[in-house]
Amino acid sequence: MKHKSLLMLFVVSIMVIAAGCGTSKEKDTSSQNQQPPEMIDVGLKINPENPQPNKEVTFSATVTQGKEKVDNADEVTFEIWKDGQEEHDKIQGEHKGDGVYSITKSFPEAGKYFVISHVTARDMHNMPQKEFTVGDANAADDQAENTEHHEEGHNSDHHDHHDAAGVSMHFMAAKDLIANAKTTLTLHLQKDNSALTSARVRFEVWKDNEEKHEFIETKENKSGEYTAETTFPTTGEYTVKVHVEKGEIHTHEENTITVH
């Protein structure tokens, strides 16, 4: 009887171990079968493609993830500027449904322009860029050439931006910044529509009308995404100047934020 009990105990133990191994293998197989989520894709369109001065232009971004239309994007912003100009317009896109976000805008002057659609959705970021011409294309080329010659004869900050051709950046801060509360500043960085990695990115922060400037080093948490934590001691308007350095690239961009 004793031998039978021991035999039964041995058989049960083997069955338990086998079942445990089977469960472990199933978990391992399930883990291996899990695929990383597909990247979001952004289709940037300009209508008409060759707009005329003082006529409305529609900029649209169609956001998809695989075959799915993304209607819950966290942010869609269109950044637009004229070739050779420091000032950039940033306009929030309006959701139209079926993954489409758009704005309308007109341009008083002919010339060469650029647009970037900054899209943040499902913990991912994509920022395709397009070049377009308002008015006569030949006149725009002549104007751009004259602007380039003009800048070559002057020592100014435009030089840095000229060296960083193809570099796009998107700075993000919390919408409601509170004094003395820790917050995260984020920069998404691309070159030629691909993530720009392993760059040195710093945030230079100062309050309006104050001489003290603070430099904050960032960390690259994802490809092309650089973040840093900081605290703003008092309420008011602050300037955050982004400095980007990698090899021959040395560019910067200023952003204004409000702390409550």
- What pLDDT does residue 141 have? 58
Residue 152 pLDDT: 43
Residue 135 reports pLDDT greater than 80: yes
Residue 243 pLDDT class (50, 70, 90 cuts): very high
CA angle 246, 252, 253 (to 5 degrees): 145
pLDDT digits (tens, 9 = 90+) for 7-42: 566 555 666 555 555 555 555 555 556 677 888 999
Which of 34-43, 101-110, 223-232, 235-244 is predicted least confidently? 34-43
Q: Which residues of 12-33 are buried (b: 16+ CB within 10 A; e: fewer)?
A: eeeeeeeeeeeeeeeeeeeeee
Question: Does the pLDDT at position 140 exceed 70?
Answer: no
- pLDDT classification of 120: cutoffs 50, 70, 90: very high
Indicate whether 53 pLDDT > 50: yes
Tell me the residue ranges of DSSP E strands in the chain.
40-47, 57-65, 68-69, 75-82, 89-92, 94-97, 100-105, 111-121, 124-126, 129-134, 167-172, 182-191, 194-195, 200-207, 214-217, 219-222, 225-231, 236-246, 249-259
**pLDDT averaged over the chain?**
84
Rounded CA-CA distance 212/207 in Å is: 8
Adjacent-strand bridge partners of 188: 170, 225
Question: Which range, of 61-65, 123-127, 144-148, 236-240, averages the lowest pLDDT?
Answer: 144-148
Given this model, what pLDDT does residue 42 score?
A: 96
Residue 200 has pLDDT above 80, yes or no: yes
The pair phi, psi for residue 193, each rounded to 5°, is: 70, 15
Q: Compute the average pLDDT of residues 216-232.
A: 95
pLDDT band at 162; cut points 50, 70, 90:
very low
CATH superfamily of the 167-259 domain: SOR catalytic domain (2.60.40.730)
Pick the range with the lowest mean pLDDT from 45-59, 65-79, 154-168, 234-248.
Answer: 154-168
* Domain definitions of the chain by residue range: 40-154, 167-259
Could you give phi then psi for residue 71, rounded to 5 degrees?
-105, 5
Superfamily covering domain 40-154: Immunoglobulins (2.60.40.10)
Instruction: Give the integer Cα–Cα distance in Å for 233 and 23.
Output: 54
What gap in Å lies between CA 232 and CA 212, rounded to an integer?
A: 13
- Please list, in sequence order, all residues whose beta carbon lies within 8 angstroms of the beta carbon of residue 43, skipping any fewer than 6 positions away: 61, 62, 64
Please report the pLDDT score of residue 168 as a whole number. 87
In terms of pTM, does the model score above 0.85? no
User: What pLDDT score was predicted for residue 157?
Assistant: 33
Rounded distance, CA 146 to CA 6, Å? 96
Percent of the chain with pLDDT over 90: 62
Evaluate if residue 92 carries a pLDDT over 80.
yes
Lowest mean pLDDT among 100-114, 157-171, 222-236, 240-254: 157-171
Confidence of residue 155 (pLDDT cuts 50, 70, 90): very low
Distance of CA 248 to the CA centre of its chain: 22
- 101's CB contacts (< 8 A; 6+ apart) are 60, 61, 63, 73, 76, 93, 94, 95, 117, 119
Domains 40-154 and 167-259 share a fold: yes
Whether pLDDT at 220 is above 80: yes
User: Cβ distance 111 to 133 under 8 Å?
Assistant: yes
How far is it, in rounded angstroms, from Cα 79 to Cα 190? Answer: 14
Lowest-confidence region among 33-42, 51-60, 99-108, 123-132: 33-42
User: Is the CB of residue 122 less than 8 Å from the CB of residue 114?
Assistant: no
